[in-house]
Amino acid sequence: MDGLKRLTPFLSVAPQIGEADVGVLAARGFRAIVNNRPDGEGDNQTPSEVLAAAARRVGLEYHHQPVVSGKVTDEDVGDFADLLARLRGPVLAFCRTGTRSITLWALSEAWHLDPETIVETAGEAGYDLSGLRPRLEARWRTGQLMRAGGTADTAHDADTAHNIDTGRPASSYDVLIVGGGAAGCAAAASILKRRPGLAVAVVEPRDVHYYQPGWTLVGGGAFRREDTERPMARVMPKGVKWIRAACAAFEPEHHRVVLEDGERIGYRTLVVAPGLKLDWDQVEGLRDALGHNGVTSNYLFDLAPYTWELVQSMRGGTALFTQPPMPIKCAGAPQKAMYLSCDAWLRRGVLKDIHVEFDTAGTALFGVAAYVPTLMRYVERYGANLCFGSTLKAVDGPRKTAWFDVARPDGGVDRVEKRFDMLHAVPPQTAPDFVRNSPLANAAGWVEVDNETLRSTKYGNIFALGDVCSAPNAKTAAAVRKQAPVVAENLLATLDGRGARAVYDGYGSCPLTVERGKVVLAEFGYGGKLLPSFRWDSTKARRSAWYLKTKLMPSIYFDMMLRGKEWLAEPHLIPHEPQPHEAQPACDFGKVVAGGPPPKVPGE
């Protein structure tokens, strides 16, 4: 399995493991597993009870010691040490990235190992624990005092005197970006294109970057899954410091973020772009049903090939395609899965024997009315039934049954049971928990920004783009392509003490793959205004748009957008008239100095 790092002959750490990995661990001689990740943290996270059952089957001891990201407490460290003392090794401990597990190990060992040895050992395993050094040194001093005959009380007093946890950032950057997906990498590239000398860091725990727009094509048999992933190291813009950790919290009043191991990183300006959360657990039974009994979703890298497998094997029965309430990532993707499936069935001559149904929580087929007539012609061509106001609420995979809440005209709701042979499910989607629970969020949980400048309405040195921001645009990679240059221009203006000049018009694009070989290239902005990039009628299905979608867009994404090449994406700048208060920079954005007061920021 990938990512497993051996710290000692007794203990190894790893990122999130899956059910299939448990057998591999047993075969490699491990005797116990410690799960340090709370259930429900991530989209692709295997539930603890599933891992526990897998461990029992192969004779491994399994323990779940959940630790909250960014809040590794002394009690957590003590519990971890006590647990390891009871287990037979070798032991594997894991969390989302392995950072929490190695942090627990480091702090538990700091009583008798000097901090330099611990940091060096972690570094050899690929983990940078330099920000943990103050806590390690405090525990090392405490251990020395106790070994010299001191009491626990005197050791505690010494810890207090030496400031065990000051909350001061170990490092600080001109620009700190949370998220290394499309939005984070594109923003970093656009910023460094304009000002190469800035200190820019990206906080991102994953080591793989996904081209998610390609997953619908994988599910339709028109794209290879392996072409939608690249190592994160390859897509990080040149000149960026990659902090391989997860963000746990924001402390905007002190201009810093908290990482999952408790380390704090300071910033002069912050860009929030972690994407959104696929909330599978909002639909009862859906997470457990995925990947079995005909239940699939193109919204997951691992399941898009299963979609195509189901399409190829289906010769009759009922196929349900669902769409949850807005907002969601790529609002056209749920129906694109239906169109490509129907086209494949039509070509094979089996569509007449398949009942196709599109269950959408919305009241219209598409949010921009100009594109609906063309889409309706394809719905009629495929004989698909449209069920508006229909929200998926529960799934029983083995029984191949789904339950929907269907809105009545009088405002009531009926619970309707439907049988299926294939179910393509799209989950409800929310902002990540650490964003929803932060001071940056609005009532709906998204980072509250000005719709045009993409700057936080609460904090003048914070920006957001991509799926996590509150702007009412379509959540697509095409939107990010136009947002990144706007954020870059306005962020640099903020650093220089000037007003924001770049304006985002709400542009988004949804290439609706209505059949294999034809695409309706929907392009629009705020208020549903059509914003076509080319001189054609964008409401028509075109073969040229299919070529653009399948052949050119991956290159535009990887080789242009993520490299700061802003083809057809230059930001619109409004005229700027210097104001008297702009004669000097509006604030001192000096580096965050340990022990010093945070700078005042315009807009706070």
Which residues are known catalytic residues?
A: 330, 510
C-beta neighbour count of 12 within 10 angstroms: 24
Q: Using CB atoms within 10 A of its CB, is residue 577 exposed (0-12), middle (13-18) or buried (19+)?
A: exposed
With contact defined as beta carbons under 8 Å apart, do 118 and 11 qualify? no
Angle at 320 between CA 318 and CA 324, to 5 degrees: 165
Phi, psi of 195, rounded to the nearest 5 degrees: -145, 85
Three-state DSSP at 352 gives helix
CA torsion 297→299→303→309, rounded to 10°?
60
Backbone region of residue 218 per phi and psi (left: phi > 0; alpha: psi in -120 to 50; beta: other values): alpha
Q: Which amino acid is it at 604?
A: E
Q: For residue 353, what are the CA distances in angstroms to 174, 417, 425, 539?
A: 60, 21, 21, 30
Q: What is the C-alpha to C-alpha distance for residues 295 and 306, in angstroms, rounded to an integer? A: 9
Q: What is the C-alpha to C-alpha distance for residues 102 and 297, in angstroms, rounded to an integer? A: 33
Q: What is the C-alpha to C-alpha distance for residues 92 and 17, in angstroms, rounded to an integer? A: 10
Contacts of 438 (CB under 8 A, 6+ apart): 249, 250
278: which 2 tokens?
């696929």
Q: Using CB atoms within 10 A of its CB, is residue 291 exposed (0-12), middle (13-18) or buried (19+)?
A: middle
Contacts of 333 (CB under 8 A, 6+ apart): 216, 298, 299, 426
With contact defined as beta carbons under 8 Å apart, do 131 and 170 qualify? yes
516: which 2 tokens?
């294999």
Q: What is the C-alpha to C-alpha distance for residues 387 and 603, in angstroms, rounded to an integer? A: 46
329: which 2 tokens?
């990532």
Looking at the DSSP bridge assignments, the partners of residue 545 are none
Looking only at the bridges linking them, the beta strands covering 277-278 and 200-203 are unpaired
**N-terminal to C-terminal alpha carbon distance within the chain:** 47
Q: Which amino acid is it at 578?
A: P
